Amino acid sequence: MIDKALLLKTRELSDQLIALQTPIRILDAINWDKQIKEEFFRQKCQKNPLIDRAYYQQRDLGFVPSELRQAFSTLHRNIINQLGQLNPIAQYMGKMCTEYKTVLSMLEYRGTPEFHDLSVELFGHPKDLFHAGEPSLSELANMLEQPLKNLLAADILPEDPKNIDASDAVRILSEQVNASMPGINVEVMLSDGIVSDAAAGANNIKLNQDVKFSQRELDILEVHEGWIHVGTTQNGLAQPYLTCLSKGTPSSTVTQEGLAVLTEIITLKSTPRRLSKLVNRIQAVTKVIDGAEFVDIYRDYVAQGLSKDDSYTLAQRVFRGSTATGLPFTKDIAYIKGFVLVYNLIRVAIQLGRIDQLPLLLVGKISIDDFRLISQLHDLGVIENPQFVPPHFKDLRGLATWLSFGRFIGDLSFEQLENDYKPLFL
């Protein structure tokens, strides 16, 4: 166990880290104004939006990046000086300081090629390999595309109607999350300042006031935004010493989104269209890396049957922080990338008989790369068990059984299975 005085010093330094990162709002700093969309449609969707570095520089970040970066460097030195360079607590918080400094550099380079390079450093690249000789993330997305197209073309899997107004959705979702997350008071509210349909805060879920929802979508938001994003934030805030676990870095975003997508699938809330949307995001990022421009991605989405508004919104996600002819912001690969990483971690835990450690994924906003370090800090008494644990992690028997059979079935040759069973459907 670690000395009590050192734990109290950890809490002090952790709170300082939280205070330093508070003004950083990556998406607020890179999203495009409504006027850009209005001008794009005035041009009949034929011309790329006029976005350059000057466009971003006129936006007040609320801080001076160079000064804040220096403050993180100073805090990093204090952490090492007061906790010790080899201390696992210092190693964890030191990595967070370094990553936040990279974020600040990325925001300084908005509208330039360097923005993309730093985005890749933080979130990854669609052509990265998980293991040598295996498909890249982009290739995995292409492999998923055709089966999903077949499912979406089937009349037996219709989409649920979007017939719930945002104001009614607030009431319904509020009732759902507060029933399934006892002890955590989650506020659901309307917002006109988000690009997506919904977004999670520390203790709230914001719904886009201009969007209608289906009940299925609200069910997904309950488990994705509520159970995972709000739940892990609250678990981090409840930590007695390492309170910075409540604040996510970009690398933890990958794990967070992976956990959230896994939760959608395990709870049977997700749909083929939802998964197709996540696959399309990877493909869009890949196309831009290969030379596509904003109008190309917009037209791709329109050709897929999406509305003009939705096509613009999805195309904007890829280019925010960049220019309409520049390289992409790669955050949108996090969902499937994170799913693969989390899924494989759980499979290995089951294989090793260590599923007892899996709830540590929920102690806060952690990265899988830090899982061993998190486990070590838990054993030392620095990190406590998560207070809120979703049902599928609270009782691990079902999850372990599902993934054990998934491993068994996955070892079978799909080509042979297809040859054996395909005649039954003709």
426 residues of the chain, pLDDT tens digit each = 688 999 999 999 999 999 999 999 999 999 999 999 999 999 999 999 999 999 999 999 999 999 999 999 999 999 999 999 999 999 999 999 999 999 999 999 999 999 999 999 999 999 999 888 889 999 999 988 888 888 887 767 777 899 999 999 999 999 999 999 998 989 999 988 777 888 898 899 999 998 899 999 999 999 999 999 999 999 999 999 999 999 988 889 999 999 999 999 999 999 988 999 999 999 999 999 999 999 999 999 999 888 999 899 999 999 999 999 999 999 999 999 999 999 989 888 888 888 889 999 999 999 999 999 999 999 999 999 999 999 888 887 777 777 776 655 555 555 665 676 667 665
User: What one-letter code names the amino acid at 185?
Assistant: N
> Is the overall model pTM greater than 0.75, yes or no?
yes
The 3-state DSSP class for residue 188 equals: strand
User: What pLDDT sits at residue 418?
Assistant: 62
Say if residues 133 and 146 touch (Cβ distance below 8 Å). no
Task: Name residues whose C-beta falls within 8 Å of residue 14's C-beta, 6 or more positions apart in sequence.
Answer: 93, 241, 242, 243, 244
- What does the buried/exposed string (b/e) look like for 218-239 if buried means 16 or more CB atoms within 10 Å of the residue's CB? bbbbbbbbbbbbbbbbbbbbbb
The whole-number pLDDT of residue 407 equals 58
Provide the b/e sequence for 360-377 (b: ≥16 CB within 10 Å).
bbbbbbbbbebbebbebb
Report the half-sphere exposure of 88 (CA within 13 A, side-chain side): 17
Residue-level pLDDT at 49: 96
- Between strands 204-208 and 187-191, the pairing is parallel
